[in-house]
A = this chain, B = another copy of it.
Amino acid sequence: MPDSKTNLSMRPLSMPIEEAMRTQRSIRRLLPDPVDDALLLHLIELAFQAPVGGNRQNLEFLIVRERAVKARMARLNRVAWGSYGRIWRLFARNDPKTLRTMDAVSWAADHYEEIPALVIPCLRWTSYGPIVSGVRLPFPDFYAAIYYGSAFPAIQNFLLAARAAGLGASLTVMPLWSTLLARRALGLPPWTSPIAVIPVGWPRGRYGPTTRKPVGDVVHVDRYGNRPYQGHDAEETHPRNA
């Protein structure tokens, strides 16, 4: 599909928003073919439109293409996956759907160095909460929500835009199990923390609908436990369909 790989960044992404949301999924099996910086910049520009706490614009993006840096992240990822993955596989041993996901995670761990680009959103947190010589003190929930809430909306914009561009991507945090080691592997200064790692490349797999509980099961009205739409999907709640 050479056509979808060229000049995408020059055209605004035109996929209808609902289609993008309903067919977004983690694409972990990626081709080694290169991805244009211009396209990544386009996606990051869209990511950067997302809301941030107090309009601080403290989010930065590191694009990692260099094999040596990717190899360091691959090692961190394998350490975490080697222990966490084993436990997870045990818990999920009777759940074929989760086991399929885990196979894809394993595949990515095995091919980490060949991923064309890692996009790593980072927060400069000098203006978030109390800091003592580069070490952020544990902050209350409220601050944590402002902090992470200034990064993950942008990350979701990036993932949706990647989906609309036909580029494979997934949201991971496993290589960041130690902020200290991750910061060292990436050469980040102490005032910047990596928030997630998004491996990006042209997909081997395909995008498609995800499965979710009926929305009525997770919606409470006025008080917790009052679920008038339980078991219903959105369409069924409309008066004309009820």
Contacts and interface: CB of A to CB of B under 8 A. Distances in A.
Interface residues of A, number: 101
A57 interface: yes
- Give how many copies assemble into the complex: 2
A41 B212 CA distance: 14
Contacts of A55: 98, 101
B10 A14 contact: no
A71 interface: no
B164 A149 contact: no
A115 to B, nearest CB: 14
Given A160-B17, A212-B57, A196 B48 contact: no
Contacts of A177: 142
A153 B171 contact: yes
A161 B37 CA distance: 28
A35 to B, nearest CB: 13
Contacts of A160: 17, 21, 157, 160
Q: Considering residues A98, A141, A173, A178, which has the most beta carbons from chain B within 10 angstroms of its beta carbon? A: A141
Nearest to A137: B138
Nearest to A98: B55
A141 B145 CA distance: 12
Given A148-B145, A193-B141, A234-B38, A62 B14 contact: no
Interface in A22-40: 22, 24-26, 36-38
Contacts of A138: 138
B149 A196 contact: yes
A17 B19 CA distance: 9
29 contacts: A7-B238, A9-B237, A10-B235, A12-B16, A15-B16, A15-B17, A17-B160, A17-B161, A17-B164, A21-B49, A24-B49, A37-B237, A44-B215, A45-B215, A53-B173, A57-B218, A59-B218, A61-B219, A62-B219, A63-B220, A63-B222, A141-B176, A145-B196, A148-B148, A152-B155, A153-B155, A156-B156, A157-B160, A187-B223
Given A61-B219, A63-B222, 18 more contacts: A10-B235, A10-B238, A12-B18, A13-B16, A13-B18, A14-B16, A17-B164, A18-B46, A24-B51, A37-B229, A51-B170, A53-B173, A62-B222, A62-B224, A65-B222, A141-B193, A186-B224, A188-B224
